[in-house]
Amino acid sequence: MNFKDLFVPRYLHSNPDVRLRFVENSADVHLLKQMTEKDPAAAVREAATARVERLRAKQRKAS
């Protein structure tokens, strides 16, 4: 863990495991979409993509 990790949001944390936990708990589709494109870790990008798809499916089902 870097010193700066104490002061940044979890989606910017240097540890990809922390970012993965953020993805699984987030409902912010806009932020998750950005993570699918920009996160340096492939596992985080894939998890964010899957989370966005689940959230969109949930929204469609509720409509």
Provide the angle, in degrees to the nearest 10, between the axes of the packed helices 16-25 and 29-38: 150
Structure tokens at 6: 């104490």
Q: What is the DSSP letter of 40?
A: S
- The answer to whether the pTM exceeds 0.85 is yes
State the pLDDT at residue 16: 98
Angle in degrees, CA 40, 13, 22, rounded to 5: 90
State the pLDDT at residue 63: 77
State the pLDDT at residue 1: 76
> pLDDT tens per residue, the chain (63 residues)?
789 999 999 999 999 999 999 999 999 999 999 999 999 999 999 999 999 999 999 999 987
Structure tokens at 31: 């932020």
